A and B are shown apart, each in its own frame.
Chain A
């Protein structure tokens, strides 16, 4: 699904990624782990070119292909790309609009005005994000009135409403309490039937619980990537083992 080859990435003069190569399989959950500052978010944001918005960033070498299309090719429309590669942020960021408008926003951008279709998609997305039952009576109240966990699930619902092929999640649970976290994790398990998911996490348990494959990064390099099972039981590299056993530092 996503193929990264020898990717070098720079913030101005500082290189954040060094020759990263990996493959993300379709309809699986791939987890990125690694110590802070190792470039997980950077790589994730390369997948939907959110890094384009930051001043002075550039790809130094290598390529990223999604379904065989080089997404940094000039012929690729960033907007179209972002519709196919959705993103959920670390800090939940619902718009200060109603719950309904939050979900319908993405479709309205695509020019969908048909009320019945919007209604259907809103319901479907909220159900998909396991939020429907909690909010169905107050769809038209402000999204800012939801709890933190609900807000994050709303953001997920917002992302799946536009039916992307891939959903990127950058530490989606880091600001949530354990119960909200487990709800999001359950959700991820459900979503992977329909979507390809890449998730950045700091929690070993989370990576272990909900991902199929795990990639370990260190200082901007991919150290190893394998089935999650294998990474957590028989890592090939000493560094990986140190990290997941908490002997790191």
Chain B
């Protein structure tokens, strides 16, 4: 042992074990930070490149057309010794005003205009599917947490929920296509000869499917996030103290009365904030809507329909699908890059805002509800 005067048995000897520990912990630290760096790089590159599309140096500082316009084909051409980059409409107007000259133009689809229809479509998809998922999911969680008493059947339910969470999203897409697009029933005045149909007396139920439509997308997405919502709801229900239930039951409340008056109201904020994560998932998924709800292009916005019922039976454009389209179906160059990064920017920004609000709200909730 070291015999220096101030040595005592509790000094830290730099032994092999300590050295190994230092090396290992530093390696862990590096690994952790490299994940963070990689993530930051991805965010950073998309935000920097995307902000070139989104922001403007002059007033109003934001590229309004990009956020409120529809996708158009971009025409790049030279005329009068000047280089022009114009969207479809502007291009035709330009030609008109210059006496229809012959110009050699390169054109790139979807690379001009904006992405408003996609934002709207994604909004519609999210609202509808979350409404369905929350309704079913909260009810299921109430059953599992409040009514069920265990047993093999409940075990099976829980197993099913776990497994449902693991099903790949593309399989949900296939399922949604098979069930909702091709098979789901619609009411009709007459039986449809090419599909199975049921007579209900006053009307017919034709199993001809809902087609590529909002409705198909809603259900497909709703079933996909169902496990997320159920888990979130169960957690929130568990956080409500047992005393609230016992208290109301002891006063002669039926179980439903106890749940309605003294459980759900206190669980609901928790359920909603945790379900925001589900919203991020619904908004972000592409595969399930590819064949069930999304169109590559659609001129009309969802509310531009003749009959109200058509709202549900129309496909929409959606941000994630649009990103897929612009990043795989058009070439990569300076002209197309703008719409690509711009769309990715908007989409990522929206999704991250949703996720962030969930994180913040949740920590706020934890601080507020302490009983």
Residues of A within 8 A of B (CB): 48, 50, 53, 55-56, 79-80, 82-83, 86-87, 89, 91, 93-96, 105-106, 109-110, 144, 155, 158-159, 162
Instruction: Please tell me which one of the listed residues B241, B251, B371 contacts residue A86 in the complex, with CB atoms under 8 A apart.
Output: B251
Kindly state the separation between the CA atoms of A89 and B257 in the bound complex, as whole angstroms: 20
Contact residues in B for A56 (Cβ distance below 8 Å): 149
Per CB-CB distance, the 4 closest pairs between chain A and chain B, nearest first, are A93-B243, A83-B252, A87-B250, A106-B251
Contact B251 A105 (CB under 8 A): yes
Contact A144 B247 (CB under 8 A): no
The verdict on B184 contacting chain A, using a C-beta distance below 8 Å, is no
Within 8 A of A (CB), among B304-361: none
Q: Which residue of B lies closest to A87 (CB)?
A: B250
The verdict on B249 contacting chain A, using a C-beta distance below 8 Å, is yes
Q: Which residue of A lies closest to B262 (CB)?
A: A95
Q: Known A-B contacts: A80-B252, A83-B252, A89-B247. Give 11 more (CB < 8 A).
A: A50-B249, A53-B249, A79-B252, A86-B251, A89-B250, A93-B241, A94-B247, A96-B266, A96-B371, A109-B257, A110-B252
Contact A159 B250 (CB under 8 A): yes
Helix, strand, loop or mixed for chain B's interface? helix
Contact A50 B371 (CB under 8 A): no
Contact residues in B for A158 (Cβ distance below 8 Å): 247, 251
Contact A48 B266 (CB under 8 A): no
The verdict on B254 contacting chain A, using a C-beta distance below 8 Å, is yes
Contact residues in B for A87 (Cβ distance below 8 Å): 246, 250
Contact residues in A for B266 (Cβ distance below 8 Å): 96
Kindly state the separation between the CA atoms of A95 and B261 in the bound complex, as whole angstroms: 10
The verdict on B204 contacting chain A, using a C-beta distance below 8 Å, is no
Could you name 10 residue pairs across A and B whose Cβ atoms are closer than 8 Å? A53-B246, A55-B150, A79-B254, A82-B252, A86-B251, A89-B243, A93-B243, A105-B248, A109-B251, A162-B251
Kindly state the separation between the CA atoms of A80 and B149 in the bound complex, as whole angstroms: 23
Within 8 A of A (CB), among B243-297: 243-244, 246-254, 257, 261-262, 266
A218 CB, min distance to chain B CBs, angstroms? 26
Kindly state the separation between the CA atoms of A83 and B251 in the bound complex, as whole angstroms: 6
B172 CB, min distance to chain A CBs, angstroms? 34
Contact residues in A for B371 (Cβ distance below 8 Å): 96, 144
Contact residues in B for A89 (Cβ distance below 8 Å): 243, 246-247, 250
B68 CB, min distance to chain A CBs, angstroms? 45
Contact residues in A for B247 (Cβ distance below 8 Å): 89, 93-95, 155, 158
Contact residues in A for B251 (Cβ distance below 8 Å): 82-83, 86, 105-106, 109, 158-159, 162
A152 CB, min distance to chain B CBs, angstroms? 12
Contact A55 B248 (CB under 8 A): no
Contact residues in A for B250 (Cβ distance below 8 Å): 48, 50, 82, 86-87, 89, 159
B47 CB, min distance to chain A CBs, angstroms? 42
Kindly state the separation between the CA atoms of A55 and B146 in the bound complex, as whole angstroms: 12
Residues of B within 8 A of A (CB): 149-150, 241, 243-244, 246-254, 257, 261-262, 266, 371
Kindly state the separation between the CA atoms of A53 and B253 in the bound complex, as whole angstroms: 13
Q: Which residue of B lies closest to A101 (CB)?
A: B261
Q: Which residue of B lies closest to A55 (CB)?
A: B149
Contact residues in A for B149 (Cβ distance below 8 Å): 55-56
Q: Which residue of A lies closest to B248 (CB)?
A: A105
A198 CB, min distance to chain B CBs, angstroms? 13
Q: Which residue of B lies closest to A53 (CB)?
A: B249
Q: Which residue of B lies closest to A106 (CB)?
A: B251
Contact B246 A95 (CB under 8 A): no
Q: Which residue of B lies closest to A91 (CB)?
A: B243
B93 CB, min distance to chain A CBs, angstroms? 64
Q: Using known A-B contacts A89-B247, A93-B247, A95-B247, determine if residue A162 contacts B150 with beta carbons closer than 8 Å.
A: no
Kindly state the separation between the CA atoms of A77 and B249 in the bound complex, as whole angstroms: 13
A129 CB, min distance to chain B CBs, angstroms? 14
B7 CB, min distance to chain A CBs, angstroms? 50
Q: Using known A-B contacts A55-B150, A144-B371, determine if residue A93 contacts B246 with beta carbons closer than 8 Å.
A: yes
Kindly state the separation between the CA atoms of A50 and B253 in the bound complex, as whole angstroms: 12
Contact residues in B for A95 (Cβ distance below 8 Å): 244, 247-248, 262
Contact A50 B248 (CB under 8 A): no
Kindly state the separation between the CA atoms of A84 and B69 in the bound complex, as whole angstroms: 67
Instruction: Please tell me which one of the listed residues A48, A91, A94, A109 contacts residue B253 in the complex, with CB atoms under 8 A apart.
Output: A109
Kindly state the separation between the CA atoms of A82 and B249 in the bound complex, as whole angstroms: 7
Kindly state the separation between the CA atoms of A109 and B253 in the bound complex, as whole angstroms: 6
Kindly state the separation between the CA atoms of A100 and B251 in the bound complex, as whole angstroms: 15
Kindly state the separation between the CA atoms of A144 and B266 in the bound complex, as whole angstroms: 14
B249 CB, min distance to chain A CBs, angstroms? 7
Q: Which residue of A lies closest to B255 (CB)?
A: A53
Q: Which residue of A lies closest to B370 (CB)?
A: A144
Contact residues in B for A162 (Cβ distance below 8 Å): 251-252
B371 CB, min distance to chain A CBs, angstroms? 6
Contact residues in A for B249 (Cβ distance below 8 Å): 50, 53, 82
Contact residues in B for A80 (Cβ distance below 8 Å): 252
Contact residues in A for B253 (Cβ distance below 8 Å): 79, 109
Kindly state the separation between the CA atoms of A86 and B246 in the bound complex, as whole angstroms: 11
Kindly state the separation between the CA atoms of A162 and B253 in the bound complex, as whole angstroms: 11
Kindly state the separation between the CA atoms of A172 and B256 in the bound complex, as whole angstroms: 27
Contact B254 A50 (CB under 8 A): no
